[in-house]
Amino acid sequence: MDKIKITIVDDERYSRDELKHLLGEYDSIQIVGEAASGEDALVACMQQQPDVVFLDIEMPKMNGLDVAKHLKELKKSPLIVFATAYPNFAVDAFRHEAVDYLLKPYEEEQLEQTIQRLHKHLYSDKEALTATSSSKLAVEHDNEIYYLDPSDILYISREDRISRIYTKEANFESKLALKDLEERLAGYPFFRIHKSYLVNLNYISKLTPWFNGAYMLELKNSTEKLSVSRNYVKSLRNKLEL
């Protein structure tokens, strides 16, 4: 699977550096360029031909909405994610067919959801089906390599820099970070419910309200109850419900 090529456009250097750092944590992402103004952004996108542009809105001379309008006219038009400190531009942003609207300061959980949306937009159902039908997740255990069928995985947890993979038959450990495992399983029905949990949607059996907007989740073939962060509850219900 090719990496997602991204150009970052923001007139504030600190904001560009912060976003580069956060996106740099994803193996599926490649930062191909950056720009500090709307004018430079158009030139950069024509030269670099990114798949996605993370675009600030409040910039001098040419603002992000104007940039988005011009980007849509390019022969190879990139997807747009608006990244701004101002929530009041959201309606105008989605009129430009934005994939997402991120608010500063950036939250890692929201950024992960954005990356998931980009995967869905850029990789066709056919590619996902091909991956689902043949690929296995390789896990080293007791000096041996086990190839796990993703459909057998109930959930994955992360604690003390170890990812624990729970299947219907056994449990395994991996040194891979949870976000790396999430990327490898992108073509399968897995969903992040918390910074420490990734679950297989096919095994979810029950959601129970907890406190402060959080929920507890129960899975088939498991006695564990997992915490669902309130930031993920709405997206999870949208995934599960008709």
Check whether residue 105 and residue 144 sit in a common domain: no
The DSSP annotation for 168-211 comes to SS-EEEE-S-HHHHHHHTTTSSEEEEETTEEEEGGGEEEEEE-S
Distance separating alpha carbons of residues 113 and 169, to the nearest angstrom: 30
Q: What pLDDT was estimated at residue 239?
A: 79
Q: In this structure, are 89 and 11 located in the same domain?
A: yes
- 182 lies in some domain: yes
Q: Are residues 173 and 230 in the same domain?
A: yes
CATH number at residue 80: 3.40.50.2300
In this prediction, residue 132 carries a pLDDT of 44
Q: What is the pTM of this model?
A: 0.56
Token pair listed for 201: 């949607």
Instruction: CATH number of the domain at 206, please.
Output: 2.40.50.1020
Last residue of a domain, one of 87, 122, 157: 122
Domain limit, last residue, from 122, 149, 164? 122
pLDDT 10s digits, 56-115 = 999 988 999 999 999 988 888 899 999 988 888 777 777 778 888 888 888 888 888 888
54 and 100 inside one domain: yes
Q: Per the domain annotation, does 127 fall within a domain?
A: no
pLDDT at 28: 85
Q: How many domains does the chain have?
A: 2
Domain end position, chosen among 100, 122, 144: 122
- The amino acid at 189: P
- Model pLDDT for residues 3-39, shown as the tens digit of each residue: 899 999 999 999 999 999 999 888 889 999 999 999 9
| Residue 32 and residue 50 in contact, taking contact as beta carbons nearer than 8 Å | yes
Mean pLDDT of 155-174: 91
Which region holds residue 49: left if phi is over 0, alpha if psi is between -120 and 50, else beta? left
Residue 7 to residue 40: CA distance in whole angstroms: 11
What confidence tens digit (pLDDT) does each residue in 118-152 have? Answer: 888 887 544 444 444 457 888 887 778 888 989 89
When computed from its CA atoms, the radius of gyration of the chain, rounded to whole angstroms, is: 19
Q: Give the pair of three-digit tokens for residue 169.
A: 């038959």
